[in-house]
Amino acid sequence: MKNTDSTSMTSSHANYAWIHEVLEPDQLASTKPLFGRRKLGATTLALLWILRLYVLLMIFLIGYQVWSAFHAKF
């Protein structure tokens, strides 16, 4: 039993080694770069909030259209 486990472990390691050989260095998950936080400027923040309000307003309008369509139908 022990031998079987040891064989499968070795085979598993061998598989990993093969994969490491085939992959290019920049394809390994361990090479995933870490990017720092970027501070958003006042203009960008304002734009993001305006667009957020735009989406909320438009969703309200869609709700109104659905409500109108529903009442027109029934």
Partner 1 sequence: MRLFWVLLGPGILVMLGENDGPSMISYATTGASYGIGFFLPFILLTFAMAYVVQEMTVRLGAVTKKGHAELINERFGKFWGWFAMGDLVFGNLLTLVTEFIAIRAGLGFFHVPAAVSVLGAFLLIVAAVATQRYWTWERIVLSFAIFNLIFIPVAVMAHPVASDVVKAFFTWGPLPGGVNAAFMLLIMSNIGATVTPWMLFFQQSAVVDKGLTPKDITHGRVDTALGALLAAVAASATLLATVPLFTHHVDASNFQGADFAKALIPHVGNIGASLFALGLFEAGIVAALTISLSSAYAFGEVSGRSASINSPMKENIPFYAFLFAAAGIAALLVLIPNAPLVFITLIVNVIAVLAMPPAIVFLLLLVNDKEIMGQHANRILGNVFGIGVTIFLILAGLAYGILTIFPHLLTTS
Q: Give contact residues for partner 1 (rule: CB under 8 A).
A: 23-24, 26-27, 31-35, 37-38, 40, 44, 47-48, 51-52, 54-55, 57-59, 61-62, 64-66, 69-70
CA distance 42 to 3: 65
CB of 10 to partner 1, least distance (A): 21
Q: Kindly tell me which of 2 and 34 has the beta carbon lying closer to partner 1.
A: 34
List alpha helices for the chain, DSSP H. 2-22, 42-73
Q: What angle do CA 47, 50, 56 make, to 5 degrees?
A: 140
CB of 73 to partner 1, least distance (A): 9
Positive/negative CA dihedral, 52, 54, 56, 58: negative
Q: Kindly tell me which of 1 and 72 has the beta carbon lying closer to partner 1.
A: 72
